[in-house]
Amino acid sequence: MAFENLTSRLQNAFDKLRGRGKIDETVVNEAMREVRLALLEADVNFKVVKDFIARVKERAVGQEVLKSLTPGQMVIKIVNEELIELMGGHVAQLAVANRPPTVVMMAGLQGAGKTTTTGKLAKYLQKQNRKPLLVAADIYRPAAIKQLQVLGEQLNVPVFSLGDQVSPVEIARQAIEHAKENHLDYVLIDTAGRLHIDEALMEELKQVRDVAKPDEILLVVDAMTGQDAVNVAESFNSQLELTGVVLTKLDGDTRGGAALSVKAVTGKPIKFAAMGEKLDALEPFHPDRMASRILG
Ligand code: GDP
């Protein structure tokens, strides 16, 4: 179960505040030391933790306790609010182009769940009465085109493919034309993934971006990889200017580092969370629900 360890560590920290009549600096510092360790152990970025703790302390110390809350509850309330803020504060909506189709470019390293997530996003849009087009622009991984076609069949969503001998730029260009002609309102481009970030990959993604002029560039990262996911997001963002991140595999026993650090480190919101292999296991990312889940 995701965040299990973090949740119990935080609860231990808050236990120390129970029954205290008054919050003074010593009490807050003691609890925050535990919270700090819990977050670091959950693989949250070091600087993110430092800033987070500083903000909570500043708000908690000397704060007049609301009549209805014990001092312990007050600190938990502040931690909860700051966790929500850390993850972006509110739900970040998927872009909608003024004039259809809305073009969404999906990027990510191999194995992160990019192709699956592209299918899930198509299903999510379908449920909202949108008409998505899946675009097979990952021409290097032999199975990727087939995988997208299978997803398209399952969902009854059209898949645009020109095989693996046409450049991804050309595929993207023609796919958008195809969507316009067929009144499809979302174009979801499954771009190439690699095992590692390399220059050729970034160059290709930039070329696709320049031609497709996406309304949305979503990076799919595996939450299980913790700070690595955050580092990947930072490099993709610096090269491509992402508009958002999709966190996958939140159904696994991820420690929490990626969910809690991505927004603060990259400035880009987590727009969706994937919690399973099934096609309906994709939801808009709700910072408040995630914070509640973390606090247990
Ligand atoms: P890509 O190389 O990034 O396109 O990755 P794929 O979409 O092929 O996914 C890689 C593996 O991760 C597949 O076995 C997926 O079923 C699995 N996967 C993707 N998203 C999730 C998720 O949210 N939870 C779990 N448990 N598995 C996932």
Least confident of 134-143, 240-249, 282-291: 134-143
Beta bridge partners of 109: none
Residue 176 CA to ligand 1 center (angstroms) comes to 26
Our answer on whether the CB atom of 49 is closer than 6 Å to any ligand 1 atom is no
- Does pLDDT of 70 surpass 90? no
- Does pLDDT of 24 surpass 80? no
Greatest pairwise CA separation for the chain in angstroms:
71
pLDDT at 206: 97
- Does pLDDT of 63 surpass 70? no
- Amino acid at site 119: G
Nearest ligand 1 atom to the CA of 120 is 20
pLDDT at 253: 83
To test the pocket of ligand 1, the residue of 147, 277, 283 to mutate (highest count of ligand atoms within 8 Å of its CB) is 277
Q: For this complex, say whether ipTM is above 0.95.
A: yes
- Does pLDDT of 287 surpass 70? yes
Our answer on whether the CB atom of 279 is closer than 6 Å to any ligand 1 atom is no
Our answer on whether the CB atom of 120 is closer than 6 Å to any ligand 1 atom is no
- Does pLDDT of 68 surpass 80? no
Residue 110, annotated as binding a ligand: yes
- Does pLDDT of 1 surpass 70? no
* Average pLDDT, integer, range 147-152: 97
Our answer on whether the CB atom of 121 is closer than 6 Å to any ligand 1 atom is no
pLDDT at 141: 84
pLDDT at 255: 87
What is the sign, positive or negative, of the torsion defined by CA atoms of 164, 168, 169, 173? positive
- Does pLDDT of 29 surpass 70? yes
Nearest ligand 1 atom to the CA of 116 is 7
Coil vs helix vs strand at 255: coil
Of 71, 138, 139, 131, nearest in space to 107 by CA: 138
The answer to whether 101 and 179 have CB atoms below 8 angstroms apart is: yes
- pLDDT tier for residue 197 given thresholds of 50, 70 and 90: confident
Least confident of 79-83, 189-193, 250-254: 250-254
pLDDT digit string, tens, across residues 114-142: 999 999 999 999 999 999 999 999 998 87
Look at the chain and count its residues.
296
pLDDT at 132: 98
pLDDT at 254: 86
Our answer on whether the CB atom of 191 is closer than 6 Å to any ligand 1 atom is no
The answer to whether 226 and 10 have CB atoms below 8 angstroms apart is: no
Beta bridge partners of 188: 104, 134
pLDDT at 67: 63
Residue 116, annotated as binding a ligand: no
> What is the average pLDDT score of the chain?
93
Our answer on whether the CB atom of 110 is closer than 6 Å to any ligand 1 atom is yes
- Does pLDDT of 65 surpass 80? no
pLDDT at 151: 97
Confirm whether pTM is higher than 0.90.
yes
Our answer on whether the CB atom of 116 is closer than 6 Å to any ligand 1 atom is yes
